[in-house]
Chains A and B, each alone.
Chain A
């Protein structure tokens, strides 16, 4: 791989990312899948880096999941997006930051549509006004939450308590990254690094001391592609997609998988168990899986947050091997304690894949 060629390409795909006063909108599903990721994002921005973030209590789903599943028409979707922009306008925080990749892709698509077809924007404005009495301004800046962490990656590195370095050997840890399809595949210039060789997660891994491994099926879908999973009969495609990626990345022996989408970490994490049950195949070391993290979780680890406060105990694939490599201490007896200290119970231990 010729790194100079990649670097030259990355230069062509830089985008403006606001540096403060963010209007943050959460994902429909991430709090169920990876419950502390969004909280960690807010903690890093507000407590570590002193940024201002506003969350509106009336924010709803952007409806992207319905739009991409063909159950909600684009007109309705645009009106719902317009309502989110109206909430942003009310708040006075004009830098719109979605947590969800599909939301980011959808907001980008709507803004691009309005840019090219102003008459559509005018019609949606009228529809929203009639339906809710609300009016709105368009965001001064639209960036995905991973763009924000990318922008602040060096500030996070400055505060790092742990690096992506094997503390026993001193060698950089090897990470593979997987970008959500809706981040840049529809609008390459809206993603840091473009669509083919995205840099947004690569930049984080490099800044935090790790090494990125590029693998042949990096661009392949994680397995969450909506039609693959939402239609039950298609779920074989979903697990087959994930399997294809694991088979492709395994020879590189990655220490972790880093993601920036709601669905990707979920499927890349859970399907490792499913494949182990179905075929007896595991892809990590010693019969374990490859740990899968969201970028907020990884940033939290680098900053020294307690792994259980980051919600890493709800992952299917155990993260302890990664914590051990990074030299991060953890208390196994507290792994399944809730935030109130109450014991939550120990999950079922599968036989097909080794877990801690």
Chain B
């Protein structure tokens, strides 16, 4: 009888790992909190840097799923324990699952932009988040101001909830810079006459093709990049948003009126309290789960039979998440063989 693996979370990491584990001959059960699989991929329109539709990646992940994989949606793990060589988990539905190994692939949460009170999310009518913008693109809606007009000037604010001691997140979310560049291009493609300004601290274009996207934004689409962190935003009588920022390259404070402000929200850790309490897993100061070794056991926990994949151990791109999910599947296979 083949061994059983429980995967917690049916996002990119969980689905990819599931496909690989099935191919290796393991019985996989995936438990997902929401009503459908795919995680946050369901919310994105197109992915950086290639601008590939997110739905295409999701389709690919679904195609790789083995038909015998058990997927339990709308369910939450309420109890989990390692017993000798097995894992026992209980769900809020009353169901119990036994497995030989568990993969935690619970992903991340988006930073709640309301915490940056001075930016006015859900207070000012024309302040949205990068996730809201993705939704607009995904649903094929027109990008308009709250009054239904085409915006003439849009500001994209980088590092909202990332590298920000004030909100308790000192780490970099890794994907926001390039998302901001991608979304700036997308806005220009939808509204060619609209001016787009990206306000950034520094642009972390670290991965392959990121720099190309940044160049394209400037050269082809004339997106303007202003190095400076927003200090505050305020709503003008006509509903436009006045932002205050210091242009640190010019060394001058500036004010600008924008028709629409997009807050590039970062990644925050999900609720890991159950894993900390019942599996005695560690979290870092950033509240993400900590692997057994940052170099050599990045997909293993210190707890026997418990593995990690994806953004549950820190911000990652989808590309990195898929790579990590495959690594985790192989690590689990190695563990179960021994």
Evaluate contact between B124 and A2: CB separation under 8 angstroms: yes
| CB-contacts of B98-127 with A (<8 A) | 114, 117-118, 121-125
Given that A9-B123, A197-B123, A216-B242 are known contacts, is A1 also in contact with B117, CB under 8 Å in the complex? Answer: no
> Which residues of B line the A interface, CB within 8 A?
114, 117-118, 121-125, 232, 234-237, 242
A251 near B: Cβ within 8 Å?
Answer: yes
Interface centre among A8, A195, A216, A251 (most CB of B within 10 A): A216
Evaluate contact between A194 and B117: CB separation under 8 angstroms: yes
Evaluate contact between B122 and A216: CB separation under 8 angstroms: no
| CA distance in complex: A8, B117 (Å) | 11
| CA distance in complex: A216, B235 (Å) | 6
The residue on B at minimum CB distance from A218 is B234
Mask: chain A, 180-217; 1 = CB below 8 Å from B; 0 = not: 00000000000000111100000000000000001011
Evaluate contact between A197 and B117: CB separation under 8 angstroms: yes
A170 near B: Cβ within 8 Å?
Answer: no
Evaluate contact between A2 and B123: CB separation under 8 angstroms: yes
B114 proximity list for chain A (CB < 8 A): 5, 8-9
Given that A194-B117, A196-B117, A197-B117 are known contacts, is A5 also in contact with B234, CB under 8 Å in the complex? Answer: no
B118 proximity list for chain A (CB < 8 A): 196, 219
Which of B117, B125, B232, B236 meets A9, CB within 8 Å? Answer: B117
A123 near B: Cβ within 8 Å?
Answer: no
Evaluate contact between A252 and B117: CB separation under 8 angstroms: no
Evaluate contact between B237 and A5: CB separation under 8 angstroms: no
The residue on B at minimum CB distance from A194 is B117
Minimum distance in angstroms from A164 CB to a CB of chain B: 21
| CA distance in complex: A5, B125 (Å) | 10
A8 proximity list for chain B (CB < 8 A): 114, 122
A195 proximity list for chain B (CB < 8 A): 117
A214 proximity list for chain B (CB < 8 A): 235
Evaluate contact between A5 and B122: CB separation under 8 angstroms: yes
19 A-B residue contacts at CB 8 Å?
A: A1-B123, A1-B125, A2-B123, A5-B114, A5-B121, A5-B123, A6-B123, A8-B114, A8-B122, A9-B123, A196-B118, A214-B235, A216-B234, A216-B236, A216-B242, A219-B118, A219-B232, A219-B234, A252-B237
Minimum distance in angstroms from A106 CB to a CB of chain B: 22
10 further interface pairs, Cβ-Cβ under 8 Å (given A2-B122, A5-B121, A216-B242): A1-B124, A2-B124, A4-B122, A9-B117, A196-B118, A197-B117, A216-B234, A216-B235, A219-B118, A219-B232
| CA distance in complex: A2, B124 (Å) | 6
A218 proximity list for chain B (CB < 8 A): 234
| CA distance in complex: A6, B124 (Å) | 9
| CA distance in complex: A214, B123 (Å) | 12
B123 proximity list for chain A (CB < 8 A): 1-2, 5-6, 9, 197
Minimum distance in angstroms from A218 CB to a CB of chain B: 7
Minimum distance in angstroms from B150 CB to a CB of chain A: 21
Which of B122, B234, B237 meets A217, CB within 8 Å? Answer: B234
B117 proximity list for chain A (CB < 8 A): 9, 194-197
A6 proximity list for chain B (CB < 8 A): 123
B236 proximity list for chain A (CB < 8 A): 216
Evaluate contact between B125 and A251: CB separation under 8 angstroms: no
Evaluate contact between B235 and A1: CB separation under 8 angstroms: yes
| CA distance in complex: A218, B122 (Å) | 18
Interface centre among A5, A9, A218, A219 (most CB of B within 10 A): A5
Evaluate contact between B125 and A2: CB separation under 8 angstroms: yes
Interface centre among A194, A197, A218 (most CB of B within 10 A): A197
Minimum distance in angstroms from B336 CB to a CB of chain A: 47
Mask: chain A, 34-74; 1 = CB below 8 Å from B; 0 = not: 00000000000000000000000000000000000000000
A9 proximity list for chain B (CB < 8 A): 114, 117, 123
| CA distance in complex: A217, B235 (Å) | 10
| CB-contacts of A79-112 with B (<8 A) | none
B232 proximity list for chain A (CB < 8 A): 196, 219
A1 proximity list for chain B (CB < 8 A): 123-125, 235
**What 4 A-B pairs have minimum CB-CB distances, sorted nearest first?**
A5-B123, A5-B122, A196-B117, A216-B234
Minimum distance in angstroms from B101 CB to a CB of chain A: 42
Minimum distance in angstroms from B133 CB to a CB of chain A: 18
A5 proximity list for chain B (CB < 8 A): 114, 121-123
Mask: chain A, 223-264; 1 = CB below 8 Å from B; 0 = not: 000000000000000000000000000011000000000000
B122 proximity list for chain A (CB < 8 A): 2, 4-5, 8
Interface centre among B235, B236, B237 (most CB of A within 10 A): B237
Minimum distance in angstroms from B253 CB to a CB of chain A: 12
Minimum distance in angstroms from B66 CB to a CB of chain A: 45
| CA distance in complex: A196, B118 (Å) | 6
Minimum distance in angstroms from B231 CB to a CB of chain A: 10
Minimum distance in angstroms from B116 CB to a CB of chain A: 9
A251 proximity list for chain B (CB < 8 A): 237
| CA distance in complex: A9, B242 (Å) | 21
| CB-contacts of A1-37 with B (<8 A) | 1-2, 4-6, 8-9
The residue on A at minimum CB distance from B122 is A5
| CA distance in complex: A9, B116 (Å) | 11
B124 proximity list for chain A (CB < 8 A): 1-2
Minimum distance in angstroms from A65 CB to a CB of chain B: 26
| CA distance in complex: A252, B234 (Å) | 15
Minimum distance in angstroms from B4 CB to a CB of chain A: 44
| CA distance in complex: A237, B44 (Å) | 47
| CA distance in complex: A196, B121 (Å) | 12
Minimum distance in angstroms from B96 CB to a CB of chain A: 39
Minimum distance in angstroms from A334 CB to a CB of chain B: 40
| CA distance in complex: A21, B118 (Å) | 36
| CA distance in complex: A197, B114 (Å) | 12
Mask: chain A, 270-299; 1 = CB below 8 Å from B; 0 = not: 000000000000000000000000000000
| CA distance in complex: A263, B151 (Å) | 40
Minimum distance in angstroms from A135 CB to a CB of chain B: 38
A219 proximity list for chain B (CB < 8 A): 118, 232, 234
| CA distance in complex: A139, B123 (Å) | 36
Minimum distance in angstroms from B118 CB to a CB of chain A: 5
| CA distance in complex: A6, B118 (Å) | 12
B234 proximity list for chain A (CB < 8 A): 216-219
